[in-house]
Amino acid sequence: MGDINVVSTLGAILVGCLLCVALSALVFLQTIIYFYIYRQDLWRIQLIVGTVWALDATHVALTCTATWTYLVLNFGNEDITDFIPITSSIVYENSSACVHTSQQLGIAFTGLVGFIVQAFFTHRVFRLSNNRVLASILIVMTVVRLGAALVTTIEMMRLKSFGVLLDQFAWSISLGLALSSALDLLLSASLSFYLRSNKTGFGTQMDRIVSAIILYTINTGMLTSMMTVSTLICWLVIPNNCAFLAMHFAVSKLHANSLLTTLNTRKVLQEYSKPRFEVGTHQLDTLPRRPSVLVFRKPVKGEHYSLDTGPSKAVERDGTCEERDTMDNRPSVEDKVAAL
């Protein structure tokens, strides 16, 4: 391996670990919110959320352990930057570091989280578009991307050296990062396009909801896309620097947060779709009730009739008029508003 800048390498790992912990805390918070609000959600969705959280928690534990290995257990040992540990299990023989295992299980967990999240959004694209060709392309890219991550993990565990990995299996890392970047961009663009095609164009309440969903999709998807593209660029331009690895730590966290944000905003959108009546200081006008209909009949000789104008509005049954209120059985406007 070429000359390694210890400051930029170990410093990048430290920054990546701190960012990883912060984003993982956000994943944990969103997971709690999800299970608190959506207790009646489909068991499949709950299983996806639980699995993503478990993988994310394991990933952050591995990342912190690897950072401890680099910065504490091997403090002052510049040669450690070429090794790839899994945990802090490092033994010393003849003053040389012998790596027992590798940290790159983290790449496998990143690949698994990305696979679940990208498959979830691929299913949403298919539900919106009913385009089997597009969905097939997306799912194939997702599977190949997971395969590249697993190949990279296996080879890193076997080689235990960044230098040898660069010489023999740089293609697997490049393929995985390129597919991840392309998938995030395609999913964001596809969801935005098909959601926009469902708008009526008349400025209805549903159109405003669709616009809000598109905004959420762009914000979450594009943030993940920018991180994966930046990781790919750093890997291609400065492979001897661990800046790409530090950013790669955060990719799985952004994937998990994009999934949870999509699920947790459903309640907000449901409330937004409900009709609202703002009364304020203005009183709702009520329609006047129709006057009673009086049906007259010709009086019989010797009969007298009288109309009672009291509160009961009653009419003598033997009088010459009968009252029929045609509105008695009809709901008032207030009743209709209250029933909405």
Distances (CA, A) of 86 to 67, 69, 78, 221, 235: 10, 9, 18, 30, 20
175 in Cβ contact with 148 (< 8 Å) = yes
Q: Is 313 left (phi over 0), alpha (psi -120 to 50) or beta?
A: left
Domain boundaries, the chain: 6-273, 289-340
pLDDT at 111 over 50: yes
Residues 162, 163, 168, 173, CA torsion sign:
positive
Q: Which CATH architecture does the domain made up of 6-273 adopt?
A: Up-down Bundle (1.20)
Q: Determine what percent of the chain is predicted with pLDDT higher than 90.
A: 25
Main-chain dihedrals φ then ψ at residue 97, nearest 5 degrees: -80, 125
Distance CA 131, CA 84 (A): 42
Least confident residue range of 91-100, 232-241, 260-269, 274-283? 91-100
Residue 294, classed as helix, strand or coil, is strand
The structure tokens listed for 222 are 């594009």
Helix, strand, coil percentages (3-state) for the chain, rounded to 5, are 65, 5, 30
pLDDT in tens, 126-176: 998 899 999 999 999 999 999 998 988 888 777 776 667 777 878 888 898
pLDDT in tens, 280-302: 444 444 445 555 454 545 555 55
Mean pLDDT of 306-320: 47
Concatenating the DSSP letter of every residue in 181-243 gives: HHHHHHHHHHHHHHHHHT--SS--HHHHHHHHHHHHHHHHHHHHHHHHHHHHHHHHH-TTSTH
Q: Which helix (H) or strand (E) holds 290?
A: none
